[in-house]
A and B are shown apart, each in its own frame.
Chain A
Amino acid sequence: MRWIAALLSMLPASSSLMEVPVVRDAVTVPYYEDAFVPRPVAQIAVELVASGEGAFLRVVVAALGPDVDPLPGIAGAPGANLRTAEELERLLREQTLQLVARVGADQVPGRLVEIEWARVPQRRIGEDGLVDFAAMTESPWPVRAVFESEVLPAGETWCYLQADGVPRLAVHASPQHILAVESRGEREAVR
């Protein structure tokens, strides 16, 4: 019980913590690779969440999703991209995947709040020469990472999911709406 008391003592006194967050707007889009004919290699879900303090963005990057294109060839199972999961693993291990909001001249970092691990569908040809369409990777991979921004200021804000310091996804939002979501390799913003 002492540790709970210690945690509570660090909290600001606010009744807003008792409010249940409400999703005010949501967009789910495919994330396209940067290629001559871009394929959707990940799924991005963006939510605008209203809480007592204001509204913040929740950005979920997933290597699994109904529109996610797999690795080429027999090994690839539609709806999952192992290369995306591998890349997520590297970026999270090296702590170079970040959600950053541009507020005026400042860059305000967000938080990584959740990582989901799971085995990824990876078809394989067995020793008998038959394709096992239901095979999975032996080890789990990070298949989903959830980031949250700080509370958005009034007016319009651009938030970026940066990988290795390079913006890979841009979210244009106000505290009322998600205005656009753009991924690298996509020709037009989605909205």
Chain B
Amino acid sequence: MARVVVAAALLGGAMAQQGQPPPIEPAQLPEDWARRDLEGKWAAFRAATGDAKADSRSKAAWAMALRASGDAELLEWIAVHEGWRHVGPALAQLDAPQLMRAAAWNLGALDSHDKDNAEKLMRERGAVALGWFRANLLAQRGKGAAIFAELLAAHEAADAARYLRPLDPMQVLVPWLDAPAQLVEFGARLEAEPKVRYVQQVLRALDGVIVFGDVDDLIVQKVLALSRHVHQAVSSAAFSTLSKLPAGRVPFAALLPMARDASLAAAKRQLATTTLSYSSHPAAFFALHEIAETECDPGRLAAVVRLGEIGDDTTERLLQRLGDRVDEETAKSIQAALRRIGERKHTQSFLQPVPLRLLLWRVAWLRVKQDPRAEDHGRAASALLAAQNARGALEPALEQLLATPVRDHPFPADEAPKVEEQLRAFVAELRRR
């Protein structure tokens, strides 16, 4: 027995090595590669690797192959539409003319891996990055402002003439987001036909919205319009994109009528319900409760699942009240949601920055609106936070919340200050208890 224990201890290290991820080998480009135009190459890339959410190892294998073949244009398309993390190093190794603008595009990426690694590249090539910013004044503002200021303080600008001018989202994204109802599948083509609009172009633009990150209302409205597109894949991708926006930008006010529209297909209503659940506006939260209570609503199960993930004590009360008055599938979902809320209370997740702010915003907003639910929600939030206050964890959480400015408000400009005032008043009440 002792020998087995000893052997196992020694083998433990070796077994860890056996679990080691294998190296990634470059992908094999198709034989017809040279005959493909850029759309044709994009089609082959996506056919081989999947969409933007697919396995990043296959993306890495293609990045290696594209670096070896010198396909800088396609690498840029991947950086712009799927994210820097897949192909940034390959673009950097080529020192491609597209390098700086692809990195700048990713400075607002909603995925922090893309943003952080694009920033890292600019710091590593500080002198030429500064030269590029100097040559492109518009890039110095907005999402590029912080890194530009940092480079200005640390470097002398070097010649950046070899690098291309910044990309304009109005040219890169907007034309493809204005998609006609008739879209064509690219299929086995090698080249795009003139004046034909392809499904892959729209899907690519929808992915690019998230990488660009710094989206304005114009782009959000175009994505919202695509959520009603007749092509299922386009509609689904649009909902997916909307759900990934910063929580304050998810257009819940437009999604709620879709969730309730009896003329819409059940799947679209379920997707609209799921997507609006990612909004930080309290109205979205309360709408989910109504949908969860509504028998035969196609979004009901989705609402219950999501309420398990974002709900509070008032949600628990509702779900418990629904109790046995539901079908078996819904009953199982309700039990799972109640367990999830219980787990979140057990791990004190309500004191994490985001859930805490959402909980306090709900109370504050109800008070601003003089909503009759305000008192009940205030009491429930107060009791919940008192229960979460093991070892005095609440006070530092409140302090951190008050010290963190809000970048992503779901409230209109005239309402936001009133909500913040009510939030601070509620925090003062919590501190007095």
* Contact A74 B239, beta carbon cutoff 8 Å: yes
What residues of A have a CB within 8 angstroms of the CB of B5 in the complex? 17-18
What residues of B have a CB within 8 angstroms of the CB of A74 in the complex? 239-240, 243-244, 274-275, 278
Q: How many residues of B contact A (CB 8 A)?
A: 60
Given contacts A125-B271, A129-B265, are A114 and B347 in contact (CB under 8 A)? Answer: no
B349 to A, closest residue via Cβ: A67
One digit per residue, 1 when the CB lies within 8 angstroms of any chain B CB and 0 when it does not, for chain A 164-183 equals 00000000000000000000
Given contacts A39-B354, A73-B243, A125-B240, are A89 and B13 in contact (CB under 8 A)? Answer: no
Given contacts A93-B21, A112-B16, are A72 and B110 in contact (CB under 8 A)? Answer: yes
One digit per residue, 1 when the CB lies within 8 angstroms of any chain B CB and 0 when it does not, for chain A 38-64 equals 111000000000000000000000000
* Contact B271 A83, beta carbon cutoff 8 Å: no
Taking the closest CB of chain A, its distance from the CB of B66, in whole angstroms, is 18
Q: How far, in angstroms, from A7 to B236 measured CA to CA in the complex? A: 57
Specify which of B19, B24, B404 is in contact with A37 (CB 8 Å cutoff). Answer: B404
What residues of B have a CB within 8 angstroms of the CB of A127 in the complex? 232-233
A78 on interface, CB distance cutoff 8 Å: yes
Q: Which of B232, B233, B352 has the most CB of A within 10 A?
A: B352
Q: How many residues of A contact B (CB 8 A)?
A: 55
16 inter-chain pairs at a CB distance below 8 angstroms, sorted by A residue, are A4-B3, A7-B10, A11-B10, A17-B9, A66-B346, A73-B278, A74-B239, A112-B16, A113-B13, A114-B12, A129-B232, A129-B265, A133-B302, A137-B55, A138-B55, A142-B19
What residues of A have a CB within 8 angstroms of the CB of B404 in the complex? 36-37
Q: How far, in angstroms, from A173 to B196 measured CA to CA in the complex? A: 65
A142 to B, closest residue via Cβ: B21
The stretch from B111-119, B317-325, B359-367, B414-422 touching chain A is: B111-119
A188 on interface, CB distance cutoff 8 Å: yes
What residues of A have a CB within 8 angstroms of the CB of B2 in the complex? 17-18
One digit per residue, 1 when the CB lies within 8 angstroms of any chain A CB and 0 when it does not, for chain B 200-242 equals 0000000000000000000000000000000011011001110
What residues of A have a CB within 8 angstroms of the CB of B243 in the complex? 72-74
What residues of A have a CB within 8 angstroms of the CB of B15 in the complex? 114
Q: How far, in angstroms, from A71 to B112 measured CA to CA in the complex? A: 10
Taking the closest CB of chain B, its distance from the CB of A132, in whole angstroms, is 11
What residues of A have a CB within 8 angstroms of the CB of B267 in the complex? 128-130
B413 on interface, CB distance cutoff 8 Å: no
Q: Which of B1-43 contact A (CB under 8 A)?
A: 2-3, 5-7, 9-10, 12-13, 15-17, 19-24
What residues of A have a CB within 8 angstroms of the CB of B309 in the complex? 78
One digit per residue, 1 when the CB lies within 8 angstroms of any chain B CB and 0 when it does not, for chain A 97-140 equals 00000000000000111111100001011011111010001110
Q: How far, in angstroms, from A138 to B112 measured CA to CA in the complex? A: 24
Given contacts A37-B353, A117-B19, A188-B396, are A11 and B6 in contact (CB under 8 A)? Answer: yes
What residues of B have a CB within 8 angstroms of the CB of A17 in the complex? 2, 5-6, 9
* Contact A33 B112, beta carbon cutoff 8 Å: yes
